[in-house]
Structure 1
Amino acid sequence: MRWLFPLLMACALAGPAGAQEAREVRLGYLSLEDDPRFDEDFAYARIPLRPQGNTRTGVELAIEDMSFLLDARDMSVTLDGDRVTQDALLERARQMVADGARYIVLDLPAASVAALATELADTEVTLLNTTAPEDALRTACHANLLHTAASDRMTSDALIQHLVKQKWTNVLSLHGEPERDQVRAQSFAEAAARMRVDIIETREFDLSTNPARREENNIMLVTGGVGDYDVIFIADDFGEYSRYVEYQTALPRPVIGATGLVALEWHWALERYGAPQVNSRFEDRSEDGRRMSWQDWSTWIAARAVLTAYTKAREPGPDGVEAFLRSEDLRLDGSKGVPMSFRPWSGQMRMPILLSTHNAIIDIAPIDGFLHKTNTLDTLGQDEAEFTCD
């Protein structure tokens, strides 16, 4: 019988008869080297107004977090991609598809996301938009596009719910001249109309010091001369004007939107639902020990959604994984207290929105009392009944 033990050991090391190598999951990631949304030259007194971290770290953390389930399913993940130039973006994406990637996580401006979705429509790849909040990307209804970035309408609805809760129902709305600011202000106006919050006046501010535009660049004048109001909403994508607004308004009123109370997908100050552990793991993994931003969370949850679908889909093939990813069975844990999934009508991920200051969570939307017939998360953003494709 001495021969039996060595034989059993050999069989154990060799694995079961006919065993295959680990199933490979190829996951793509793309961002821009010179993303115009994070222009380092747009700063004042060496203060970066919109610092950019490497959101690939969020994807790497998701792979690490899912390693136990992936190992149990005998799967391995290959992550391909990083920052590229705008000119190389499409070619790099096509190469990922050719190499077998069925999912690509995108940290890109809306125009680049839309272009890729159009150009890759003839392939089997699914793109995940993680940082472009424009509602127009949703209503474009690209069949190959999902969104883990909250839409403008979702963050607007979250702010409006808080205003209704506080009984702050008269709003002065301010926005800058850029189209992005005007779009955000329009989204806020739509959310306000749905909840019968009154925007008493909408005004445009100006960043210049031109004396001829004094009534548009002087905060006291911009916020005065309109009677009474409860709160000021400001849409300022660059953040240069809004950071001066608080404590200089004509009336002593709270400020929301681009500063003051801000609606975000994620904030490092969240102290429930396992969020501190997620934040700690991210800080340990990031090169500079930085805190997890909403952009990082969005890439993290995008990768987590894909890998969850691979590990839990009943049908292991590509079609089964895709069907599970887009189904109500996904029930994704994003460390925000409720299971999340993608809306079938827009590809938008349902999620709670954090209402925060620079260092505290004030509330989490959907706020108690705001109900929906099927899913309270659908009180944030365009519901199926009001959603139409362009």
Structure 2
Amino acid sequence: MEYAVAGALCRCILCLLVAAGPAFALDGSESPAASPALRELKILYIAGDYPKAEYLSLLQSQPDDDGKAGALLALDEINITGKFIGFSFAMDFIALKRGADVVAVAKQSLDRDSVLVADLNAPDLLALANAPAARRSLIFDIRTSDDDLRQERCARNVFHILPSTAMRADALGQYLAKKGWRRWFVLQGPSVEDAAFATDIHRAASRFGGKIVEARAYNYDAGSRRVDTGYQQIATQMPLATEGAPAHDVVIVADTKNLFGDYLPYNTFEPRPIVGTQGLSPVAWHPAFQEYSALQMQHRFELVAHRKMSERDYAAWLAVRAIGEAVIRSGKTSPIDLAEFMRSDAFGVAGFKGQALTFRRWDQQLRQPVLLASALMVVTMSPQDGFLHPKFFTDTLGYDEPETKCRFAQ
């Protein structure tokens, strides 16, 4: 037994010496070969200073490091892999002041060839993409879902991480069709974003056999919901807002600003499920998601951020992982080369959704399944079974190549 243990120990030591590579020779002399210097890619994370999202529930709030925490986690992960093949990654953070000129900041801060993660709203993202200083840059959009940024106003140097509004509406529409809930009553808030979501719900209805029995505009008057009788006001207002609708299976709410949607469950005139921007909602990520090893991801994030992972955290994490994947697999660091590789069939990034995630060549939108979740649980994931596509099932969500209006300027 002792000889067996000693033999095993010697074999382990020999393995360690071999694994150490050229740094040590078996005769005890130091190897003259030095470790090659790592090739560094610096990623710029640029974030705008915008008003935080407001919520009706005291249980919800937007963290100060929303997005940034996900990017930092991914940076650590890609450095672990990168160092073994000669790459290192660093990240600089640029915080735009409220109302700052993003073009001026780009001119001052960007190199000729930069790789950026952009936590910017649509106007600032477009300004950055069109800035002369950023024309040869590679920009990852982690905030917007606007369809027009992927359609008429698409930019060759921008790759979109979050699902578009059309993808979210289609994910919901497929599930409603599968459930046989085909009569949809749409309650739409006053914002431009509410109108965009409602428009995509109409599109999903025509694609998947839904029937919109009524689309009703609603402008909620908050009144004094924080006073002692606030719940009584809500219990009166929500039934009035939904009274008189034709027979319907679900209420689809379009309330992107969180003004009234969370008041609808259990308060509608007819007892119906609430889906859309509140209730059962289409999201890229959810803290309760645990399939496809996502539970490991949730745990890793909580260990470093000390909170749950948000959708924007996930988008930032995925953007940085995509950068690392492209660099490591292509061996290149130029933004132009990385963009070409990401458009190719050779690219794919793991996103804990059961398949490699890839970019659509026609609009540079990331293909991905979309989760349908309530506040506490993930209910399902679209595309739903039975919705077929000749190439990618995920291309049943959003604008397919024959439908696109994106024409990249060369």
Q: Tell me how far 1:273 sits from its aligned partner.
A: 1.1
Shift of 1:161: 0.6
* CA-based RMSD: 2.4
Structure 2 counterpart of 1:243:
262
Task: Give the CA deviation at 1:301.
Answer: 0.4
1:337 matched to which residue of 2?
A: 354
Contact 1:29–1:106 (Cα < 8 Å) also in 2: yes
| 8 Å CA contact retained: 1:328, 1:342 | no
Name the CA distance, whole Å, in 1 between partners of 2:259 and 2:64.
16
Greater displacement, 368-377 / 322-331: 322-331
Shift of 1:101: 5.4
- What letter matches 2:171 in structure 1? A
Residue 63 in structure 1 maps to residue 84 in structure 2: no
Instruction: Assess, with a 3 A threshold, how the Cα gap between structure 1 residues 284 and 94 changes in structure 2: closer, same or farther.
Output: farther
Equivalent position of 1:159 in the other structure: 172
CA distance in 2 between partners of 1:332 and 1:378 (Å) = 17
Distance 1:184 1:282 in 2: 30
CA deviations on 1:159-212 (whole Å, 9 max, x unpaired) are 0011011000000001111111111111111111111210111011112168xx
The alignment status of 1:231 with 2:247, answered yes or no, reads no
Residue aligned with 2:240, SS: helix
Cα distance in 1 for residues equivalent to 2:61 and 2:85:
44
Larger radius of gyration: 2
Distance 1:43 1:379, change over 3 A: closer
Cα distance per residue 1:199-236 (max 9 Å; x no partner): 111011112168xxx9xx93212212122100010011
User: Is contact 1:352–1:365 with CA below 8 Å preserved after alignment?
Assistant: yes
Distance 1:316 1:176, change over 3 A: closer
Kindly tell me: are residues 224 and 335 of structure 1, through their superposed partners in 2, closer, same or farther at Cα, counting changes over 3 Å?
same
Give the corresponding residue for 2:20: none
Are residue 258 (structure 1) and residue 277 (structure 2) matched? yes
Q: Which amino acid aligns with 1:222?
A: A
Alpha carbons of structure 1 residues 318 and 156: separation in structure 2 relative to 1, 3 Å: closer
Distance 1:135 1:333 in 2: 24
- Equivalent AA in structure 2 for residue 332 of structure 1: V
* Structure 2: distance between partners of 1:234 and 1:298: 24
Q: 1:359 to 1:310 in 2, by over 3 A?
A: same
Pick aligned residue for 1:25 from 41, 59, 68: 41
Per-residue CA deviation, residues 38-69 of structure 1 (Å, 9 max, x unaligned), is: 25xx5669675655543111111111112232
Partners of 1:152 and 1:237 in 2: CA distance: 11
Instruction: Show structure 2 runs of 5+ residues with no match.
Output: 1-24, 224-232
Letter in 1 for 2:239: M
Check 1:374–1:27 CA distance in 2 against 1; reply closer, same or farther (3 A cut): same
The AA in structure 2 aligned to 1:256 is V
Does the aligned pair in 2 maintain the 1:49–1:238 contact within 8 Å?
no
TM-score where L is the length of structure 2: 0.84
Q: Which amino acid aligns with 1:32?
A: G
Q: Is the 8 A contact 2:197 2:254 kept in 1?
A: yes
Match in the other structure for 1:302: 319
For residue 257 of structure 1, report the CA deviation from its aligned partner. Answer: 0.8
Return the offset for 1:275: 0.7
1:282 aligned onto 2:304: no
Give the Cα–Cα distance (whole angstroms) in 1 for the partners of residues 392 and 359 of structure 2: 12
- TM-fit CA distance, 1:240: 2.2
Hey, what's the Cα distance between the residues in 1 that align with 2:169 and 2:206? 11
- In the TM superposition, residue 126 of structure 1 has moved relative to its aligned partner by 1.2
Show CA shifts across 1:107-147 (max 9, x none).
Answer: 11112111111224763101111111110111112111110
Matches of 1:349 and 1:120, distance apart in 2: 25
Tell whether the 8 Å contact from 1:263 to 1:356 is kept in structure 2 after alignment: yes
Identify the range of structure 1 (121-130 vs 75-84) with the bigger mean alpha-carbon deviation: 121-130
Sequence identity (%): 30
* Gap change, CA 1:120 and 1:284, over 3 Å in 2: farther
Per the TM alignment, residue 277 of structure 1 is displaced from its structure 2 partner at its CA by 1.0
Name the CA distance, whole Å, in 1 between partners of 2:113 and 2:72: 16
Kept in 2, the 8 Å contact 1:354–1:365? The answer is: yes
> Partner residue of 1:368?
385
C-alpha distance in 1 between matches for 2:26 and 2:346: 46
Corresponding position of 2:227:
none
Taking a change above 3 Å as real, the CA distance of residues 131 and 92 of structure 1, as seen in their structure-2 partners, is same
Deviation at 1:370, TM superposition (A): 1.0
Query: Are the structure 2 counterparts of residues 232 and 385 from structure 1 closer, same or farther at C-alpha, using a change threshold of 3 Å?
Result: same
Q: What are the Cα deviations for residues 62-106 of structure 1, in whole angstroms up to 9, with x where unaligned?
A: 1111223211221111201143213153333334422x6521101
Gap regions ≥5 residues in structure 1: none
**In terms of mean alpha carbon deviation, does 219-228 or 231-240 score higher?**
219-228
2:326/2:338 contact within 8 Å kept: yes
Deviation at 1:319, TM superposition (A): 3.9
CA distance in 2, matches of 1:284, 1:50: 19
The answer to whether the 8 Å contact 2:70/2:314 transfers is yes
How many residue pairs get matched?
Answer: 370
Could you say which residue in structure 1 is the equivalent of 2:10?
none
| CA distance in 2: counterparts of 1:50 and 1:184, whole angstroms | 22
The match for 1:169 is: 182
Instruction: Judge conservation of contact 1:26–1:101 (CA < 8 Å) in 2.
Output: no
Distance 1:44 1:325 in 2: 40
